Amino acid sequence: MTLHQLSEAVGSIVSEKYADKRVTRVAPLESADGNSLAFLADDRYLKHLRSTRAGAVLLRERHAGACPVPTLVVDNPHAAFARAANLLHPPKRPAAGVHASAVVAPNATVDPEAHIGAQAVVGEGCRIGPGAVVGPGCVLLEDVILEADVRLVARVTVGAGCLIGARSLVHPGAVIGADGFGLAQDRGHWIKVPQLGRVVIGEDVEIGANSTIDRGALEDTVIDDGVKIDNLVQVAHNVKIGAHTAIAGCVGIAGSVEIGAHCTLGGGVGVAGHLRLADGVHVTGMSLVARSLDEPGAYSSSMPAQPMRHWQRNAARFRHLDEMARSVARLERQYKREDGD
């Protein structure tokens, strides 16, 4: 693409002198060549900017003077780079049609523009929209709906009745619509509670490899538009996740949690059941959310790594925390009495 074409696509400014210059790929500042587009979003990489050999660089106006090659000036270089990378490296979509080894139920509806890959299974009553891709080894149980341009990369399992919205992307090994962990206790025995809801996924959602989203018990589990879920995330039954929330790897979300829009959960976060997180809540990695968070903002609960001898000493003191609190309370009462005298 020419720099003029890219500048129009990402909303940048480029000198007319370089408008017809072409780039063919994206690359890091330090290794880019004259055919590559790079970007600078962090001052820590200014040293690479000054010596870059890229064909052009996406950057903020304040950095343009330090760049020895053509520039595309934008307010948000990282976002502009993401858009440019999608244009220069569009995903390859397989040809429309059903592979000879796939199994498609007679009453399933597969749009002529969809692709069903090798050894995929499309169950009774499924509806596959135009441009959708069901990759190799995927299994869709009965009455699944994939809207236009959904892509299941490979070995994705989608449970009965689940719906995945347009342009959503599901990576290998993900399981959408398994039973939730619903059990009732009766005299020392567990009784399985039927999981009768679905999973309903909105548009432009991305779900990482080997993540699991359980179907609802009575109502649906709902993932709203634009949500991004990393690898190895567990979303339990009846969870609701608001639009454009991002969830990093190894997060565990217990049942009936409601997470607002534009939230972020760092890696390894745990959220206890039946809680509510307001819009704009940001939880840092490895934190435990044990109560509802009703105000937007950043929350943390984890203890950073420290030398083991310090941790052992602090852990020993923690066992005496209640005793110490009582002692402090007694001293405060004594001080107040003496001060009153």
Confidence of residue 95 (pLDDT cuts 50, 70, 90): very high
Please determine, for residue 211, whether its predicted confidence score (pLDDT) is greater than 90.
Answer: yes
Pairing of strands 234-235, 212-214: parallel
Confidence of residue 304 (pLDDT cuts 50, 70, 90): confident
pLDDT in tens, 38-62: 999 999 999 999 999 999 999 999 9
Please determine, for residue 34, whether its predicted confidence score (pLDDT) is greater than 90.
Answer: yes
pLDDT in tens, 216-264: 999 999 999 999 999 999 999 999 999 999 999 999 999 999 999 999 9
Instruction: Quote the tokens at residue 170.
Output: 């599901």
Provide the pLDDT for residue 111.
98
Provide the pLDDT for residue 237.
98
Calculate mean pLDDT across residues 269-295. Answer: 98
Burial of 181 (0-12, 13-18, 19+ CB in 10 A): middle
Burial of 2 (0-12, 13-18, 19+ CB in 10 A): middle
**Sheet architecture: strand order including 56-59:** 25-26, 36-39, 56-59, 71-73
Please determine, for residue 63, whether its predicted confidence score (pLDDT) is greater than 90.
Answer: yes
Percent of the chain with pLDDT over 90: 93
Provide the pLDDT for residue 303.
81
Please determine, for residue 71, whether its predicted confidence score (pLDDT) is greater than 80.
Answer: yes
Calculate mean pLDDT across residues 161-174. Answer: 98
Calculate mean pLDDT across residues 287-307. Answer: 94
Q: Taken in order 310, 315, 319, 325, is the CA torsion positive or negative?
A: positive
Please determine, for residue 340, whether its predicted confidence score (pLDDT) is greater than 80.
Answer: no
Per-residue CA distances from 340 to 327, 328, 329, 331, 332 (Å): 20, 18, 17, 14, 12
Provide the pLDDT for residue 289.
98
Confidence of residue 336 (pLDDT cuts 50, 70, 90): confident
* H-state helical runs in 11-76: 46-51
Provide the pLDDT for residue 341.
59
pTM of the predicted model, to two decimals?
0.91
Provide the pLDDT for residue 129.
98
Calpha distance 303→136 (Å, rounded): 43
Q: What is the CA radius of gyration of the chain?
A: 26
Mean residue pLDDT of the chain comes to 96
Per-residue CA distances from 259 to 90, 234, 239, 252, 299 (Å): 32, 14, 8, 13, 14
Residues 6+ apart with CB under 8 A from 300: 283, 284, 287
Calculate mean pLDDT across residues 186-206. Answer: 97
The candidate with the shortest Cα–Cα distance to 81, out of 58, 115, 48, is: 58
CA-angle at 126, arms to 120 and 128, nearest 5°? 75
Confidence of residue 207 (pLDDT cuts 50, 70, 90): very high
Tell me which of 99, 237, 274, 320 is the catalytic residue.
237
165 near 182, Cβ under 8 Å? no
Confidence of residue 23 (pLDDT cuts 50, 70, 90): very high
Q: Is 274 a catalytic residue?
A: no
